[in-house]
Structure 1
Amino acid sequence: MTTGTFYVGSRLLEPLCAVIPLPIDQLNFLVCQLFSMWFGHIFRTKMSPKTIPPYYRHITEIVVGLGLSYFCFGYQMLHMFAQSTMCYALMKYGPQTSRHLMVFVVGLGYVCVCHIYRQYYDYGGYTMDVTSPLMIIAEKVSSLAWALHDGSVPEEKLSSDQKAEKIKELPEPVTFYSYIFCFHGFMIGPLVFFSEYRDFINGTNYDKPNPSKVSNGTKDDVESPSPKDAVIKKCIQAAIFSVLMVVTPKIVPYDYMFTDEYLYESTFIYRMLYMLVSVTMIRSKYYTAFLLSEAVNNVAGLGFNGYDSNGEPKWDLLNNVNIWTLETCTSMKVNIDSWNIRTALWLRRCVYDRVPRKYGVWPVFLVTSLWHGFYPGYYITFLSAAFVITAGRIIRRNIRPKFQTDETLKQIYEVITFIGTRFANVYLCAPHCLLEFMPNLRLYWSQYFIVHVVSAAPVVYYTFINPPKKDKVEKSQ
């Protein structure tokens, strides 16, 4: 194995690595994001739907996207073309009754094979390779396949969400590859659904009334709002979190949780508090990536979501994280729903809404584990999270009502669930960072499997010892 030498992108900027303390893969990523922000401004202002036909906007997206793909990933970009083309062929020529399922399996399966290949040749490495855009493509092709399937289903069988996303015909190849390789979103997303992308290219995403202005109802009358304020805000936030990303690993390194000193020589309280701080700070690098990717898409004009009651434009369509809600919520479900929001929406539309309710959230967390890869830490994190959320639903249904009879009890419940959510979050996320099985097993052993034990108690009690009456359960649901 050749750990750390997996990157095959351009080495043109490698001399700058001696000046800028970034490895070449991260430097290339940053340069591509900055270029996309610059060109995105040109694309939005000089090549707007009002002046350029959609076909030429699609061609521009493809050409620039392919160029950046080659710069960042070299010959590995062929995987992006292969994965997307296989799925497009299935949508075009596959059996109508099952092509959506075939695309889901092939799109996700292609990512899984690449994860295994990378894990073998770059075990434990953090080099940014083509698996990141392949993960986004798997989301795009599967959601497109389901939208195409829903377009052939009677409307009375569809939810309101499915009705809004459905399409009647498979898009032409130029439109499809523009959707796959769009230069401002192919690297790390966030995921944009096809209907949203189509409206963005055609300019109909701006056809939303502004309550503070009077319109005569014509398309030419619709003023294209500027994303300037939203982009500046997100870039400032990304800069702050990027500083935390660099500084905090030196103060509270998460790999200290591997050590015998942490596992066997420190107190339980210290171990829990150290995990709380260290794993919480790890989120700063994800916040940086999420915010920067949102800003890049907004500059290009993608992400507009109408106007608020004051007539101010909202650029939150592609927001991928709700930081305040995530850090202050009192429920693991809300916590998870506030993280990687667009992927969570994909999982809901393509998995949760498509399987029988009796399976609950387990298929969702199994799919997201496969989507991430095959390190044992992913499966420990996501399957444990499914168990904790299942327990949380039982607690909310059976225990929470007992605290709603008095204002003081309500506040006590809120404090307990707030603290519990903070510790449950880092406890569940730690394996996602440590990756390997035995280190995570030792880590959880040092924590006495506390979150698993606390979650198991209500599950066992209300399932086997004192199950609620059937009519009471039905009313609560």
Structure 2
Amino acid sequence: WSEVLFRFVTIVSTDSLSLPLSLFFLLRTFLRPAMPGVHTFNSGSVALQGVADIVGVTVDRVNFVSCMFLSIPLAIIYHRYLGEASIRTRKIYPLVIGLAYCWFCFGEATKHLLANTLTCYALMHISPPQYIHKIVFIFSMSYLTWVHFYRWIYVDFFSIDLTGPFMVSVQRMTTLAFSLHDGRVKKDEELSPLQKREAIREVPDLLSYMSYLFHFQAVLTGPLSFYTDYIHLVNKTHVPIDSKGNKPDATAEAWSKLYKSFVFLALVALVDPHFPITALERTDLGTVQWVCLFQFTIALQRLQYYFAWYLADGIYNLSGFGFRGFDENGEAQWDLVTNVYAYKFEMAQSFKESLDAWNCGTMGWLRRVAFDRALKKYRTVSTYLLSAWWHGIFMGYYLTFLTGAIMTLGGKGFRRSLRWRFLSSPSLKAFYDVITFIGTKFCFCYMTYPFARMHWGPGIAFYKRVYFSGHILAIFCAAILPVILPPPKEEKVKKEVKEE
């Protein structure tokens, strides 16, 4: 209690949001003894504890990586040896393995996944079609928030626990509910081509539903796939015959992605420990040194995501899943469930290009349930708020996504006001590209620092250190720059873009 009182007085006397944060901290302190423990999120197997001790990482990470690597041969078996098996077998096989993964990694905490999944399935059966998407969305997001709250009570650090699979399952259930609403309530002419392709007329049977929610290829880390695509996989109708009469195979593409994931894993293991995110709190570095360290350290934070997402994408492809169609040359495209394009992201010249290449599954989910459904003037803000809500209740997440909303609006204003002025000559266009490339890298790192730290305090301290320069520039570009340098008329913009 002396520690509690000391923390309370410290927060009140030093923080600009003293009263809310103080009450928040006291609430956390009072509730902590009454809540379940860390096992609520992770009571998985410790059979690999010896390996974890040797490697020098926590056992939850070893369990996760082991399951992901085990999925490689299991995916090959699914594609090569169960390709002609019955549809029922092709549903049961990934479901059983996925549930085994959850139990191995999270133990009894898996009950929350099952409770949310089965309750939402019941709601899909009993809810009025015109409200089914809202009811499932509210319940599943409320349950996720409850889990996030418990995690905030007990876990003050990054760990691989139940919340990750829970977040992915919420994406799948809510998109399924929206697809049911579109298929059962709306007319075809009211749907976009994408909504029409994903619309569902009837609630799936329980086996199909559970297989979709828990298939081993993506139960631990995603990415999001859509029910209609997954059912085409298990029904053996996912990949058509090409113009030469052959059925495209994704093996080469899959191994290319797996090799990339192995490289990213090696970098995470060898380089990342030497550049912790807390190193940015150093005050003994010059400005140039600190900026270089800032960019490099934040870039390293992305490597763990590159590893997991490329690995999951490769596993999907080894299963025969991920076919998007044929390109203009008749070549098969295997990026239907690709979650990240590392090269495109790192070379992006605008904030939008960065977002389009990052966490594509989640971006698709946000577009389907928020951006395309909200009023036009609230689309950007509502999308970022939902993204923050979905990620958790750590205040660093909200700081990141609210900053992202401001950055997005600033990027739009900058592009509309300035880009067309640099298209008259190749040299001016090259100069513009260099400036936007550097600015995009700074903006994304600036935005994601609070996310990496999770908490409000370190994020605000960082922004104070750089004088909120990113926020000021973004607001200037969004509100003032279009007044000083007005964008051209819409017709002129379209003409110049077409000519380019």
* TM-score, scaled to structure 1: 0.91
Structure 1 pair 198/427, CA: closer, same or farther in 2 (3 Å)?
Answer: same
Map of 2:97 onto structure 1: 64
Describe how 1:462-473 pairs up with structure 2 within 5 A. Answer: 462=481, 472=489
Q: Which residue of 2 aligns with 1:23?
A: 58
Query: Residue 39 of structure 1: which of 74, 85, 90 is its match?
Result: 74
Alignment of 1:131-146 (within 5 A): 131-146=163-178
In 2, Cα distance between equivalents of 1:41 and 1:308: 25
- Alignment-derived partner of residue 233 in structure 1: 256
Q: CA deviation at 1:228?
A: 2.1
For residues 325-364 of structure 1, the aligned pairs below 5 Å read 325-364=344-383
Structure 1 counterpart of 2:335, from 298, 305, 316: 316
Q: Is the 8 A contact 1:272 1:447 kept in 2?
A: no
**Which amino acid counterpart does residue 72 of structure 1 have in structure 2?**
C
Q: Partner amino acid for 1:9?
A: G
- State TM-score, norm by structure 2: 0.87
Stretch moving more, 315-324 or 54-63 = 54-63
Matched residue type, 1:432: F
**1:434-476, Cα deviation, whole Å (9 max, x unpaired):** 122122111111112111111111223157x56959x946986
- The one-letter code sitting in structure 1 at the alignment partner of 2:174 is S
1:151 paired with 2:170, answer no
Match of 2:135 among 93, 102, 127: 102
Q: Which amino acid aligns with 1:169?
A: E
Amino acid at match of 1:255: T
Residues matched between the structures, number: 458
Q: Which residue of the other structure, out of 43, 68, 85, is the alignment partner of 1:8?
A: 43
Considering only aligned residues, what root-mean-square deviation do their CA atoms show, in Å?
2.2
**Which deviates further from its counterpart, 405-414 or 69-78?**
405-414
Range that drifts further, 402-411 or 430-439 = 402-411
Indicate if the aligned counterparts of 2:141 and 2:170 stay in contact, CA closer than 8 A.
Answer: yes
Instruction: State the AA in 1 paired with 2:325.
Output: G
CA contact (8 A) 2:372 2:379 kept: no
Question: Cα distance 1:329–1:311, how it changes in 2: closer, same or farther (>3 A)?
Answer: same
Measure how far apart 1:4 and its partner are.
Answer: 7.5
Say which is worse superposed, 423-432 or 29-38, in terms of deviation.
29-38
Instruction: Select the residue among 249, 254, 271 that pairs with 1:248.
Output: 271
Deviation at 1:41, TM superposition (A): 1.1
Q: Is the 8 A contact 1:231 1:298 kept in 2?
A: yes
Summarize the alignment of residues 268-279 of structure 1 with structure 2, pairs less than 5 Å apart: 268-279=287-298
Structure 1 contact 271–447 (Cα < 8 Å) conserved: no
Give ranges in structure 2 of 5+ residues lacking alignment. Answer: 1-31, 495-500
2:152 equivalent to 1:122: no
Deviation at 1:154, TM superposition (A): 0.8
Aligned CA distance change for structure 1 residues 309 and 210 (closer, same or farther; 3 Å): farther
Give, as a single letter, the amino acid of the residue that structure 2 aligns with 1:205. Answer: H
- Post-superposition Cα deviations, 1:69-128, rounded to whole Å, max 9, x if no partner, equal 1111111111111111121111110122111011112122211111110111112x2221
Asked whether the equivalents of residues 233 and 321 of structure 2 are also in contact (C-alpha less than 8 Å), the reply is yes
SS at match of 2:263: helix
Match of 2:4 in 1: none
SS in 2 for 1:187: coil
How far apart, CA to CA, are the structure 1 residues paired with 2:338 and 2:47?
A: 33
- Whether the 8 Å contact between 2:79 and 2:318 is mirrored in structure 1 is yes
The question of whether the paired residues in 2 share the 8 Å contact of 1:210 and 1:306 is answered with: no
Q: Which has the higher contact order (CA 8 A, sep 6+)?
A: 1
Identity %: 31
How do 1:282-431 residues align onto structure 2 when only pairs under 5 Å count? 282-309=301-328, 311-431=330-450
2: CA distance between counterparts of 1:250 and 1:10? 25
| Structure 2 CA distance for aligned equivalents of residues 310 and 433 of structure 1 | 42
Letter in 2 for 1:18: D
Q: Specify the code of the residue in structure 2 equivalent to 1:47.
A: L
Aligned residue for 1:169?
202
Distance 1:438 1:63 in 2: 43
Q: Distance in 2 between matches of 1:80 and 1:21?
A: 29
Deviation at 1:28, TM superposition (A): 1.1
Equivalent position SS for 1:426: helix
Name whichever of 4-13 and 155-164 sits farther off: 4-13
